[in-house]
Amino acid sequence: MPSTTANVAEPHPMMPKVNHDEIAEQMFVSDLKTFIGREIESGQAKLMNNKVIPAITRAKGAPPANHIEVRGAMEKEIDYQAWATLNRTAQEMMWDSVASCVDRQLDALIEKSDVKNPKGSLTLDPNFVVPRYIEAFDIHCMPGNYHAVTRPNDVRQGAVFDRAAAIYHMGRNGGFMNDIRGHTVVSHLFERWPGLSPKRILDIGCTVGHSTVAVAGYFPDAEVHAIDVGAGLLRYAWARAEHVGVGIHFSQQNAEATNFPDNHFDMVFSSAMLHETSHTALPRIMAECRRVLKPGGVVIHLEVPGHYSQLDTWGRIRGDYEIFYNNEPFWRGALSTDFKAKVAEAGFKDVRAGYQDATAKAVTGAAPAFRDKSKGVHQSWFIASGVK
């Protein structure tokens, strides 16, 4: 099977470099994930439809009441157990393979992060308190989560996340730059508000700036800000942006209550961040987006495309796997929340929700690509947007 992780020149100087053994290991993990997803996972739906659901129906004299009942029966099947174990093991192997690579060169990465004459800025808060819904879990099973710091001037979590993201998405989100979601956000902006040229932009939950850098590239004269919770993550994100020639102002902040003034931004966006919040935090984040936007400013929230309303029974069971075995505690909430209603409840107008075709380049005047149904994972991204 051809690998989905190519041994190519690194896309920017902050990306951890790999030696022969490291690239071999990471390519193996990528191919293992591909094999599990394409070959083994497809058999789980067949197992469910051909054996598990008929067995429940015969025993009850009626079809199963919901996917939770089906999942309980699936978890007793050795085939399902094997699939779930392989999935979790491959995820842990991914983090391990990247972490050892990063640790080998961490001193050099920290040195590279000391950027001279930067275009942007980095503001860290030594007293910052990480929200409990993030601090309590290693999200995605990433050891140390987004906020761990191992030493002074640390960039480890950012470096680990950046390289692992390409493996996690198996190259489908823009290769090593992982920036398709950012281009898709701008594609949505061009389609809905073609006359808007934002002068101040805010990315909430930016991680290492994959989407931030992409969005900033379309508006070179704009003042672009990005926030997240981890000091090492943000230090890496800032250095990464500087090394690709983009000046972005990164700061360590909680998206529920930022230090930006009222009516400050023309555009606020997030990229696959809301599913890592909580039921309590979500309305606060929506309200904060509205507070910092100027009248006439737009909010664009991009999220995973698998909403429960469009998922079959196996799709819902697959979503539950993320909750129980991949440390995504708000996953079910994200897949069942009416984000259009949440945006409207925050006071935004002209609110729409749907699926934007994924793109590696946003083009003004392109054919409509915002639709009611998803084309599938990595082919579409769910978006809820509105105007203040």
> Residue 1: its pLDDT value, please?
29
> What angle is formed at CA 90 by the lines to CA 80 and CA 88, rounded to 5 degrees?
50
209 φψ region: left (φ > 0), alpha (ψ -120 to 50), beta (else):
left
> Residue 313: its pLDDT value, please?
95
- Measure the CA–CA gap between 376 and 278, rounded to whole angstroms: 25
Task: Tell me if 160 sits within 8 A of 99, measured CB to CB.
Answer: yes
| Collapsed DSSP state (helix, strand, coil) of residue 226 | strand
227: which strand partners? 204, 251
Task: Tell me if 242 sits within 8 A of 251, measured CB to CB.
Answer: no
Q: Would you state the structure tokens that stand for residue 139, as one six-digit string?
A: 């999200």
> Residue 52: its pLDDT value, please?
98
> Residue 167: its pLDDT value, please?
84
Nearest partner of 292 among 332, 264, 330, 320, judged by Cα: 264
Task: Tell me if 147 sits within 8 A of 323, measured CB to CB.
Answer: no
Task: Tell me if 177 sits within 8 A of 246, measured CB to CB.
Answer: no
Which residue type is seen at 242? E
User: Along the chain (388 residues), what's the average pLDDT of each consecutive run of 10 residues?
Assistant: 42 93 94 92 95 97 96 97 97 97 97 96 97 92 94 96 87 85 98 96 97 97 98 98 97 98 98 94 98 98 83 92 91 88 98 96 95 89 97
> Residue 333: its pLDDT value, please?
84
Instruction: For 132-310+330-387, give the CATH class.
Output: alpha beta
Residue ranges per domain, the chain? 132-310+330-387
> Residue 331: its pLDDT value, please?
84
Helices marked H in 18-129 — which ranges? 20-35, 41-47, 53-60, 67-74, 78-104, 106-112
> Residue 351: its pLDDT value, please?
98
- Measure the CA–CA gap between 328 and 382, rounded to whole angstroms: 18
Task: Tell me if 264 sits within 8 A of 292, measured CB to CB.
Answer: yes
pTM of the model: 0.94
Q: Rounded to 5 degrees, what are φ and ψ at 38? A: -85, -40
Exposure on the CB side of residue 236, measured as CA atoms within 13 A: 34
Task: Tell me if 302 sits within 8 A of 181, measured CB to CB.
Answer: yes
- Measure the CA–CA gap between 171 and 169, rounded to whole angstroms: 5
> What angle is formed at CA 146 by the lines to CA 124 and CA 120, rounded to 5 degrees?
40
Task: Tell me if 217 sits within 8 A of 178, measured CB to CB.
Answer: no
